[in-house]
Amino acid sequence: MESRRAFVKKMGKGVAVTSLAFPTHAVLGSSLTANTVQGLKPLRIGIIGAENSHTAGFGKLFNVEKKFPGAEVKYVWGETEEFARKAMENGSIPNMVKDPLEMMGKIDALIVDHRHPKYHLAAATPFVKEGIPTFIDKPFCYRVEEGKKFLEMARETGTPVTSYSTIAQTASTFDMKDQLGDLDHINQVIRYGPVDLDSKYGGIFFYGVHLVQPLLYMFGEDVRKVLVSRDGTNGSASLVFKSGLYATLIFKRASYGWETFIETKNGLTELKSRVQET
């Protein structure tokens, strides 16, 4: 799967809008504005899935707030007609299709936005095979082997595909990562975030990505051991990195939000962002 920067670079004329959910408006917006000035045709986006509130949010981003001039969400398919019409109304999306394949040949980029990840790859596959750049909202997929096969297919066709946590792709996360360079040896990390292990939308996959991916951005991906524990609806995970770093993830059930604490020789300190998200 391509990194955000590699994806943006490869998209050329502005299909990088599939990174739309993240606070990179200045970079992507300038690229799309330049394309409009150069007289390129408007970028047409289609969305598969409307049960998720993100769909209306994408519509607002492009069609109402016009964060990316020259790009517009033109079509939406919903799991039910009610879901689709609600997304159309709240996101100013002009057209609904009864079958996602009706969008084939009418769009330049695709967003797949189901709530349960088990539907994502099947929905995206026909479009990726046709070379349509695709952003898959979190979680990317439900089973690792299915995800690997899908990405292999995307590489063979040369179609850019990307997916990641919106929490990971924030200025706040990158600011916290920058702060790590000023700290002495970090012995342990404790990170808290909302996770419903029994969620009907895929259990830990539904929100777990928001807890895990920022951790990997900050401390690397070389995790050697993982142990998950649970008691009823409560749970936690322990991760051991190659470096010896020990990380504990606490699955919050009674509150929302994410917090990160680090242990150094000076004790336990909360790692807080110094930047204001816009």
**pLDDT recorded at residue 16:** 36
Does residue 224 share a domain with residue 102? no
Question: Has residue 98 been placed in a domain?
Answer: yes
Question: Secondary structure of 152-166 in the HEC alphabet?
Answer: HHHHHHCCCEECCCC
CA max distance for the chain: 60
**pLDDT recorded at residue 32:** 47
Question: Has residue 276 been placed in a domain?
Answer: no
Question: Has residue 277 been placed in a domain?
Answer: no
**pLDDT recorded at residue 228:** 96
Range of the domain at 241: 171-270
The overall pTM is greater than 0.85? no
Q: Tell me the CATH number at 146.
A: 3.40.50.720
Does residue 67 share a domain with residue 154? yes
Does residue 108 share a domain with residue 197? no
Question: Has residue 209 been placed in a domain?
Answer: yes
Q: Tell me the CATH number at 253.
A: 3.30.360.10
Does residue 25 share a domain with residue 46? yes
> Looking at 131, 162, 193, which one is the last position of a domain?
162
Q: Could you give the number of structural domains in the chain? A: 2
From first to last of the 278 residues of the chain, give the pLDDT tens digit. Answer: 544 444 334 443 333 333 433 333 333 344 444 444 456 788 999 999 999 999 999 999 999 999 999 999 999 999 999 999 999 999 999 999 999 999 999 999 999 999 999 999 999 999 999 999 999 999 999 999 999 999 999 999 999 999 999 899 999 999 999 999 999 899 999 999 999 999 999 999 999 999 999 999 999 999 999 999 999 999 999 999 999 999 999 999 999 999 999 999 999 999 999 998 76
Does residue 216 share a domain with residue 91? no
Look at phi and psi of residue 232 and say left if phi exceeds 0, alpha if psi is from -120 to 50, else beta.
left
Which has the closest alpha carbon to 234: 194, 262, 202, 205?
194
Tokens matching residue 40:
């390129």
> Looking at 130, 162, 194, which one is the last position of a domain?
162
Does residue 189 share a domain with residue 135? no
Does residue 253 share a domain with residue 192? yes
Does residue 158 share a domain with residue 175? no
Does residue 108 share a domain with residue 14? yes
Q: Cα–Cα distance between 10 and 16 in angstroms, integer?
A: 8
> Looking at 109, 143, 162, which one is the last position of a domain?
162
Q: Cα–Cα distance between 146 and 235 in angstroms, integer?
A: 26
